Structure 1
Amino acid sequence: MAVIESAFSTDDLPKADRWASWYEFGTQSHLPTLIRTDHQDDFQGAVRVLDLGPVQVSTLTYSPLNVLRTPKLIRQSDPGVLYFVVHQHGRIGIAQNGREVVLASQGQVIYDTSRPFTAWATAEHDAVAGCVILQVPRELLPIRSQTLNPLLAVGLPQGGGLGALLSRHLAELTRNAPQWTAADAARLATITADLFAALCAHELETVDALPPETHRRALQTQIHEFIRQRLGDPALSPGTIAAAHGISTRQLYKIFQDQGLTVADWIRRCRLERCRHDMADPQLHSRPVHAIAARWGFTSAANFSRTFRAAYGLPPGEYRNLHHGGARRERTSIVQAVTTTP
């Protein structure tokens, strides 16, 4: 059973029905707001919603519009969630608590749906605006609501750190949505909420206020992402990983010990998976096996061959030939079927 993902696009509808249908889907899948647009006659919009239980991740595109969340609407329906918004296209503005921020070039912002806010979006050349929205219930955060006030409607750093990590995590969640199962949902929701809590705590400089378990899970996710981004570096080591995260190698070993792995095991597993993926890629069929191995940090072709065989039961070259041979046979059988069909 897969994680619940719903999708809507105005491309599937007559022009006369697009605005009303998008309005209905958007307010039902998120929260009641008053939305106005000057593009009702030619509205374009799409929404993808990944439901992880208490946590929700949405990818939205839409024609220019204005959004208003009033005290009356809050009294009628208050889900008690915080929004973390990552800009993708156009220009997006959010105003709350007497502050206003304009997002562009992958900017990020947090706002509270239990407080009135206004939002707007514009796009150039009749294109669409777009963003990713993470919804996290306040009850999942180990930080008091009032403590979060300084973060509302304030542009967050874009270049790196926890904000960039959380943004990449959300992109990965939505990109791999078809493979998640219902059993994954609770774990993914916890990891996502922990990363969001760590981001908030970091921006507030109150990381020590996080419960140890929340801090540990967020740190674990940071370390995993750090390693994935540097698998091609042969010098990647427990020492460099620990130093980059301000912890001792002993602490690092403890984090992986809780997963039943050593640091080296986890790095090797990730490298092997990247190599296996590349060797199954028909576009990389002409690339030598040793070049693929070197790309992902294996410095010895012989050692890579032994390690790959131990993990997958076949030498890398044989694995590649078997995979691509099967693909070629399938394509040949399709061509033969087509050419021999009367």
Structure 2
Amino acid sequence: MLGATVFRTGDVDPVDRFDCWRDLMSKTLCPMDMDSEHVAAFQAETKLLELGAVSVWPTVVEPMSWRRTPRLIRHSDPEYYHLTFPITGSVGITQAGREAVHGPREMYVVDTSQPFHCVTSALHAVGLEVPKRLVPLRKAKADLLLTRRLPADEGYGSLLAQLLEQLAMNKGPYGPADAPRLGAIIVDLLSSLLAHVLDWDASLSQETRECTLMLRIRAFIEASLADPGLTPRTVAEAHHISLSYLHRLFEQEEETLAAGIRRRRLERARRDLADPAQNDTPIYALAMRWGFPCGGEFSRAFRRTYGVSPREFRQRC
């Protein structure tokens, strides 16, 4: 499990809650002037995940306002891009002469080096801080994206949103050693998302483009396991790359892409066979559910992998 620092206003004396929250946010993100109509009974909760140079903090907070002023910028500037991903609630944001209102699943970015004003409803969101030096976009280009809606339902935005939600809900099989790798993946996804929105992918390094392409491919495979026509060739065609280039992308993996697809299908089928709620589902139906149109082929592959037949495995479970 990833290490996290948790803060709940409920653990603090009511008189001190808003002041403690304001101090915590100023240290977590950057110094800001904050206000709320609910100071007397303020409620908020946040969990800080430090992933190398990147910070992720799922937060639930009552309506409030946040203001970053020139004076505060001169006092302290961590030089971050701050991304907000609202899950419920809405955010009104003003920066760089532009105003926008974002609702659930409408991500946006601000720059801590420029003044901004933010007003929220009751909000459940995931915040993300990435040092600007890690994002390979020139300032003039990046400024075009400030406060702009970034899609969270397709492409790179969807991959980034899924990962942030997974981290927020602590659902991933990640340990402390994974933190720097997760931070690097987040930087690649954010950089690719911003470049894609700008239609400026040439600004990205070859390493970043290949990393994000592999993430897209993995997500495509997970979503397509039930399709018996899923093969390395169809994966390559879906991503408009050659089959040989696809194999080069995965040549450092411990198994071939075809073997990886077969393993994930068998893992899904094995999980369903072990589920008592699915005991009445015929084995051939479970096999077809996970892309094995031939029951005999499924049984042979299952026995080679797990040492028992699907029927024997189900009976043992």
After TM superposition, is the score higher than 0.5?
yes
SS of residue paired to 1:270 = helix
Q: Which residue of 1 aligns with 2:303?
A: 309
Pairing of 1:120-269 with structure 2 (within 5 A): 120-122=119-121, 128-176=122-170, 179-269=173-263
Mean Cα deviation higher: 178-187 or 249-258: 178-187
For 2:248, the aligned partner's letter is K
Q: Which residue of 2 aligns with 1:333?
A: none
Distance in 2 of aligned mates of 1:31 and 1:23: 10
Q: Which residue of 2 aligns with 1:68?
A: 67
Distance in 2 of aligned mates of 1:55 and 1:283: 41
Q: Which residue of 2 aligns with 1:34?
A: 33
Residue 268 of structure 1 and its aligned partner are, at CA, apart by 1.6
Q: 1:213 to 1:11 in 2, by over 3 A?
A: same
CA contact (8 A) 1:220 1:255 kept: yes
Q: 1:288 to 1:53 in 2, by over 3 A?
A: same
Q: Which residue of 1 aligns with 2:100?
A: 101
Q: Which residue of 2 aligns with 1:339?
A: none
For 1:198, the aligned partner's letter is S
For 2:140, the aligned partner's letter is Q
SS of residue paired to 1:94 = strand
In structure 2, runs of 5+ residues without a counterpart are none
Distance in 2 of aligned mates of 1:289 and 1:27: 56
SS of residue paired to 1:229 = helix
CA contact (8 A) 2:166 2:172 kept: no
Distance in 1 of aligned mates of 2:209 and 2:226: 28
CA contact (8 A) 1:107 1:158 kept: yes
CA contact (8 A) 1:18 1:43 kept: yes
CA contact (8 A) 1:5 1:177 kept: no
Distance in 1 of aligned mates of 2:92 and 2:43: 19
Distance in 1 of aligned mates of 2:226 and 2:249: 22
Mean Cα deviation higher: 37-46 or 287-296: 287-296
Q: Percent identity?
A: 38
Please give the TM-score of this superposition, normalised by the length of structure 1.
Answer: 0.85
CA contact (8 A) 1:86 1:132 kept: yes
Residue 317 of structure 1 and its aligned partner are, at CA, apart by 3.8
CA contact (8 A) 1:95 1:118 kept: yes
Residue 143 of structure 1 and its aligned partner are, at CA, apart by 2.1
Distance in 1 of aligned mates of 2:283 and 2:104: 38
Show CA shifts across 1:254-283 (max 9, x none): 112232432211212222232333344454
Q: Which structure has the highest helix share of the two? A: 1
For 1:119, the aligned partner's letter is C
Residue 322 of structure 1 and its aligned partner are, at CA, apart by 3.8
Aligned-pair Cα RMSD in Å: 2.2
Q: 1:284 to 1:72 in 2, by over 3 A?
A: farther
Show CA shifts across 1:158-179 (max 9, x none): 4412111211122223334674
Distance in 2 of aligned mates of 1:204 and 1:228: 28
Q: Which residue of 2 aligns with 1:82?
A: 81
Q: 1:248 to 1:182 in 2, by over 3 A?
A: same
SS of residue paired to 1:4 = coil
Distance in 2 of aligned mates of 1:284 and 1:11: 42
Distance in 2 of aligned mates of 1:227 and 1:52: 26
CA contact (8 A) 1:69 1:117 kept: yes
For 1:192, the aligned partner's letter is I
Residue 115 of structure 1 and its aligned partner are, at CA, apart by 1.4
Distance in 1 of aligned mates of 2:200 and 2:159: 19
Please give the TM-score of this superposition, normalised by the length of structure 2.
Answer: 0.91
For 1:113, the aligned partner's letter is T
SS of residue paired to 1:233 = coil
Mean Cα deviation higher: 29-38 or 253-262: 253-262
For 2:256, the aligned partner's letter is T
CA contact (8 A) 1:107 1:156 kept: yes
Residue 284 of structure 1 and its aligned partner are, at CA, apart by 3.9
Residue 63 of structure 1 and its aligned partner are, at CA, apart by 0.6
Distance in 2 of aligned mates of 1:13 and 1:223: 46
Q: 1:259 to 1:16 in 2, by over 3 A?
A: same
Distance in 2 of aligned mates of 1:19 and 1:285: 53
SS of residue paired to 2:157 = helix
Q: Which residue of 1 aligns with 2:109?
A: 110
Q: Which residue of 1 aligns with 2:55?
A: 56
Mean Cα deviation higher: 107-116 or 7-16: 7-16
Residue 320 of structure 1 and its aligned partner are, at CA, apart by 4.0
For 1:240, the aligned partner's letter is T
Q: 1:173 to 1:283 in 2, by over 3 A?
A: farther
